[in-house]
Amino acid sequence: MSSPSTSSISSAAATVGELLAGSARPAEDRGILDEGAKREIRRAALSAVCVPGYQVPFGSREMPVARGWGSGGLQVTLAVVGAADTVKVIDQGDDDGVNATNLRRLITGSVGCAETTDSREASVVQTRHRVPEQPLAADDVLVLQVPVPEPLRGVQKSVAECARMHAEADYSSIWVSLYEDLVHNGVISRSTGYPVLVDGRYVMATTPIPRWDVPRLHRSTHLSLFGAGREKRIYAVPPYTDVVPLTFDDVPFEVEGARGARCARCGSVDTFLVEHGSARFGCSDTEWCDRVRAGDADAEAHRAAAPLALLPEAARRAGRQRPPVETRPLPPPRRTGCADGTDWTLKVDRIGKVHGPGGAAAVPGTGPEHRTAVSPVTGAVVAAWDIGFDVAPGEALGLIGESGSGKSTVLRCLVGEEAATTGTVRLAAVDRGRTDVLSLTPAQRRRLRIDVLGFVHQDPAAGLTLNVTAGGNIAERLTAAGWRSYRDIRARAAALLDRVEVPLVRMDDPVATFSGGMRQRVQIAKALATDPAVLLLDEPTTGLDASVAAGVLDLLRGLLAERDAAAVVVSHDFGVIEALTDRSLVMQLGRVVEQGLTDQLFRDPHHPYTQRLVAAARR
Amino acid sequence: MGYSGARGGLAAILAAEDLVRSARDRGPQPWAGTEQILARFRLAVDRVMGEAGLYHEATAADAFRQAEGDPLEAAHLVRAHRSTLPRIAVSEPVDPDEMTVLRRIVPAHRTPDGPQLLGRTSDYTGRRLERPDGPPDPPAGGLPANGSATPARTAAQRHPRRFSALLRQADLLVDHPADRDDEPFDIIRRPARPGAPRSAVLASMARAETGALVGLWYRSVLGPDGHIHEVTLGEVRHGRLPLRVRHPHTDAPVTIGEFRVTETEAIEDLDEADEDRTRFDLGYGLCLGHNERKAIAMANLDIACRRFGRDGPLEQLLLLTTDGLDSGGFLEHLKLPHYVTFRSMVERKQAMREQREVAAQPTEPLGRDCR
């Protein structure tokens, strides 16, 4: 949104008085918001209608009410309301709350529109925390005051990261939070502001309206505009738009209910009830309550529209399951096979990485024959240069070398954690191997890590979220890949954990409580969760005690044989490479100095550097 | 009743307003006129102007009186007032080198170019509470013609060369490639989020609540995190700058007034591996009115944000957590009724209890939300 330029105003008039007269500023609005600001807000609201559920930034102005007291809703209302409108304002469903009273006074005072408490007469309803019980008409606008517009804030504190997650529809962390909630509490314990998926695209915060009101936004006839003044965001649910609460397919979304509760004033059992005196309930919507008492409400239509089918029913809940005692064995993977006309799943060509200036110009004078990786020309570090290999399904390739030889750099370039200076990477799963993976956008490359590339880090903490359960860590990968059945996710996680020999009684414990070896097993299970075609292992046993490492190595050997993935194993330890791989590349100072079948290299190393590595492994 | 009960809410609100008005405006003491407030409470008025982001002394003074001396409330009044005003012109860029200094100190040098000009400050006065019975007697012999006991300064002394110019001359400052001369980020018209240009961070700090900035700075000193250096101040100035706009007919810049600012340059030691450790860098702070605490915190946080802001939380902290209206408003919203959301929470507690067939400690959900 660009600032209005001054020249268009200043060229036309001479005095400040004329300038003021020339800028559209009706006298009645002088109290709160100037016309230019209203125009900006309307533009933002129109953008919001065009992209349902997307948070549109806007130049939120300071209002005569505190930020948090409806300054966003007030700006939206002032921007859309005209003198011919009739406005209703509620807080907690009540027309007479202090906040509602105060806002109504400000709106009607500055716009000169009519006010009402009857939803049927209102053309604009501004509300905090409720959707009126009376269904709104097709032309009506519901303006909701929003304290916190970001549905992901609870799972991600960085606003830049939240923006990225929305842009890429990367919502697995909020799914994991629902999974964890179910594991720990047996129900989804989120109360108000329940996250919803709007129009199948954006996850949106439903302000803090109760869950009771959430289904009432789904395909509603009216327009809902959400104004967050403090955080400077407007978003919208246009009429007839899908609004679907986030929950697993087999876990019912529940609205608030209390057994046998009815309104102590009007007797309704199909409204949102709040505590009313001790041990009693009353309608939070005071207008509806009064009209039911007066016999002026279409109770039948209301009952038909009320979310009674979503009242809690313990029998339907997935329940707080114990970890499954028995699991079915992990089913065999489905494979895409090789790239067209080839026999590889992964092909890396002439990959190079230079840290520092010069790019390819930094390469001459570096490498094993010069005994340095530092460029004599530019001072840059040539971490890896001219590395190429391909890997077939079911094959494991080793990259071995001392620390600093560039083997992990190659792996990081491959997976996208570092940008390669040169080279290409092709995957059978991407465009049948015709597209260079390095040419993809960062978002596309992140996507590959969900179901094409599995990565096992040396440090389990780099691949796991430590405060999340073992099952939840696997659920992160599965939900990212689109899994939406709680039972299926748990069954798959249990099968994976069982396969990597993590006791299932630990499935619902946070991995922070696990030993190093156990964490590494969970990380391996997570990497295998979606049966990726390519498995990348970076020093998978290096951080472990010798006896624990031996167990993990045995496990990996079995898995590589069984899962039919193309694997790349990086290690400084010839023992690991020998145990896991068929072919190997020996790297020194960023170059490949020798390659061949692993057992031959191990038996009969030619290069002196390889001989040293082999000798070290045999000690 | 009156809080959220039956009609009568408005009457209660009006009664509450009346209590404020009658005690504040119709008490037994003489009315505090705008001029009176400007003369007696200069620093409070300056702070209001800075945090409001609007320079007009009389407006800020009126807000200060209406807010019963609460500077944040006064800044809110001024900002809400500004929301009613159309923007009819944008000033020409201000050149801080044009400043006529009223006060200027250079802690990094004993004898800088130009004077160490203490000016109007109580920095060097013992903080002893004075309890006078009435206005003090005029000094014996009367005031000098210019109202000050010291001789008038020359124009050159009022426009001293910056200490940083000396550093630059000695090749001791990192030479930043000149930024593209983009339009500054207008935080009033566009919400600034991490990834915003430096001008957005500077504007956010200039308008921030003073205490929030100082607190954020000090958190790095004695808090559990942060690695902001303690800088050496090269320049602390308070002075007057001309304000120019282009004439609507002739398009020539015309000076339409003056405003006071506080300006600080902070010299930063560079010690990261990828930095030029043989040179210094400069942090910059400038805010409306006389508010040295704010300008100094701002200069230090500016250089810290340029060095570490994107890699850590500092940029988000500066852009999104230092505005007094935002933080204060959100805190105050807790006073609003929350019984709908609370009822929903109670219902979930009961649902969780129902599900307690399995003995295991329920733990906190991974994501927690504000309501």
ipTM of the complex: 0.89
Is it the case that residue A8 has pLDDT exceeding 70?
A: no
List, for residues A498-545, the tens digit of each pLDDT value.
999 999 999 999 999 999 999 999 999 999 999 999 999 999 998 888
The pLDDT assigned to B221 comes to 87
Whether B362 and A273 lie within 8 Å, measured CB to CB: no
Say yes or no: A600 contacts chain B, CB-CB below 8 A.
Answer: no
Q: Are A344 and A566 in contact (CB under 8 A)?
A: yes
Give CA–CA dist A343/B261, Å, rounded: 71
Q: How many angstroms separate the CA of residue B267 from the nearest CA in chain A? A: 28
CA angle at B197 for the pair B191 and B203, rounded to the nearest 5°: 60
Arithmetic mean of pLDDT over chain B: 89
Q: What percent of chain A has pLDDT over 70?
A: 94
Is it the case that residue B367 has pLDDT exceeding 90?
A: no
The pair phi, psi for residue A396, each rounded to 5°, is -125, 130
Tokens 């290409």 belong to residue? A424
List, for residues B181-206, the tens digit of each pLDDT value.
678 999 999 999 999 999 999 999 99
Torsion of CA A253, A259, A264, A269, to 10 degrees: 50
The residues, any chain, with a CB within 8 Å of residue A506's CB and separated by 6 or more, are A323, A470, A497, A514, A518
Give CA–CA dist B153/B146, Å, rounded: 11
Whether B88 and A9 lie within 8 Å, measured CB to CB: yes
Q: Are A495 and A329 in contact (CB under 8 A)?
A: yes
- In terms of residues, how long is chain B? 371
Whether A34 and B340 lie within 8 Å, measured CB to CB: no
Q: Are A19 and A36 in contact (CB under 8 A)?
A: no
Q: Are A263 and A289 in contact (CB under 8 A)?
A: yes
Q: How confident is the model at residue A24 (pLDDT cuts 50, 70, 90)?
A: very low
List the beta bridge partners of residue A115: A87
A165 torsion bin: left (phi>0), alpha (psi -120 to 50), beta (else): alpha
The pLDDT assigned to A326 comes to 64
CATH number of A346-452+532-618: 3.40.50.300
Count the Cβ atoms, other than its own, within 10 Å of residue A48: 26
Q: How many angstroms separate the CA of residue A372 from the nearest CA in chain B? A: 21
List, for residues B55-90, the tens digit of each pLDDT value.
999 999 999 999 999 999 999 999 999 999 888 889
Average pLDDT over residues A463-480: 97
List, for residues B121-142, the tens digit of each pLDDT value.
999 999 999 999 888 888 777 6
Whether A258 and B350 lie within 8 Å, measured CB to CB: yes
Average pLDDT over residues B84-97: 91
Q: What is the separation of C-alpha A99 from the centre of its chain, rounded to a whole number of angstroms? A: 34
List, for residues A325-363, the tens digit of each pLDDT value.
567 888 888 776 787 788 899 999 999 999 988 889 999
The pLDDT assigned to A17 comes to 52
Give CA–CA dist B80/B73, Å, rounded: 11
The pLDDT assigned to A98 comes to 84
Q: Are B237 and B264 in contact (CB under 8 A)?
A: yes
Count the Cβ atoms, other than its own, within 10 Å of residue A121: 12
User: Identity (one letter) of the amino acid at A64?
Assistant: P
Q: Which of A10, A33, A102 sits opposite B84 (nearest CB)?
A: A33
Average pLDDT over residues A169-175: 97
**DSSP 3-state of A57:** strand
User: Identity (one letter) of the amino acid at A490?
Assistant: R
Q: Are B238 and B261 in contact (CB under 8 A)?
A: yes
User: Identity (one letter) of the amino acid at B367?
Assistant: G
Shortest CA distance from A177: residue in chain B:
B366
Which CATH number fits the domain A6-151+193-243, given the four candidates 3.90.1300.10, 2.30.30.30, 1.10.357.10, 3.40.50.11310?
3.40.50.11310
Q: What is the separation of C-alpha B198 from the centre of its chain, rounded to a whole number of angstroms? A: 16
Terminal Cα distance for chain B, rounded: 24
Instruction: Name every chain A residue with its beta carbon within 8 A of the beta carbon of B188.
Output: 59, 61
Domains A6-151+193-243 and A346-452+532-618 share a fold: yes
Give CA–CA dist A287/A276, Å, rounded: 16
Whether A191 and B341 lie within 8 Å, measured CB to CB: yes
The pLDDT assigned to B143 comes to 62
List, for residues A231-273, the tens digit of each pLDDT value.
999 999 999 999 999 999 999 999 998 888 999 999 999 999 9
Strand order in the sheet with A583-588: A453-456, A534-538, A566-571, A396-400, A583-588, A591-597
- Give one DSSP letter per residue of A560-583, joined into a string: HHHH--EEEEEES-HHHHHHH-SE
The pLDDT assigned to B3 comes to 37
The residues, any chain, with a CB within 8 Å of residue B69's CB and separated by 6 or more, are B41, B44
Is it the case that residue A457 has pLDDT exceeding 60?
A: yes
Q: Where are the domains of chain A?
A: 6-151+193-243, 346-452+532-618
User: Identity (one letter) of the amino acid at A136?
Assistant: L
The DSSP bridge pattern shows strands A591-597 and A583-588 to be antiparallel
Average pLDDT over residues A38-53: 97
| Segments in A24-137 forming alpha helices (H) | 35-50, 71-80, 98-111
**DSSP 3-state of B265:** strand
Say yes or no: A214 contacts chain B, CB-CB below 8 A.
Answer: no
Give CA–CA dist B281/B299, Å, rounded: 11
Helices then strands, each counted (H, E), chain B: 13, 4
Between the alpha carbon of residue B232 and those of residues A491, B117, B248, B285, the distances in Å are 61, 18, 44, 13
Question: Which tokens is A224 given?
Answer: 């809902």
Lowest-pLDDT range, A148-157, A373-382, A578-587, B33-42? A373-382
List, for residues A59-99, the tens digit of each pLDDT value.
999 999 999 899 999 999 999 999 999 999 999 999 988 88
This prediction's pTM: 0.90
Give CA–CA dist A523/B336, Å, rounded: 46
List, for residues A366-393, the tens digit of each pLDDT value.
999 999 999 998 889 999 999 999 999 9
The pLDDT assigned to A340 comes to 77
Give CA–CA dist A190/B366, Å, rounded: 11
Furthest-apart CA atoms within chain A: distance in Å: 97
The pLDDT assigned to A25 comes to 40
The pLDDT assigned to B357 comes to 57
Catalytic residues of A: 53, 263, 266, 283, 289
Give CA–CA dist A219/A314, Å, rounded: 28
| Segments in A51-138 forming alpha helices (H) | 71-80, 98-111
The pLDDT assigned to A18 comes to 56
Shortest CA distance from B314: residue in chain A:
A158
Question: Which tokens is B309 given?
Answer: 């802001």
Question: Which tokens is A214 given?
Answer: 């959430």
Residues 278-307 of chain A whose Cβ lies under 8 A from any Cβ of chain B? 284
Average pLDDT over residues A261-288: 93
- Sign of the Cα torsion A66, A72, A75, A78 reads negative
List the beta bridge partners of residue A233: A57, A228
Q: How many angstroms separate the CA of residue B312 from the nearest CA in chain A? A: 10
User: Identity (one letter) of the amino acid at B53?
Assistant: G
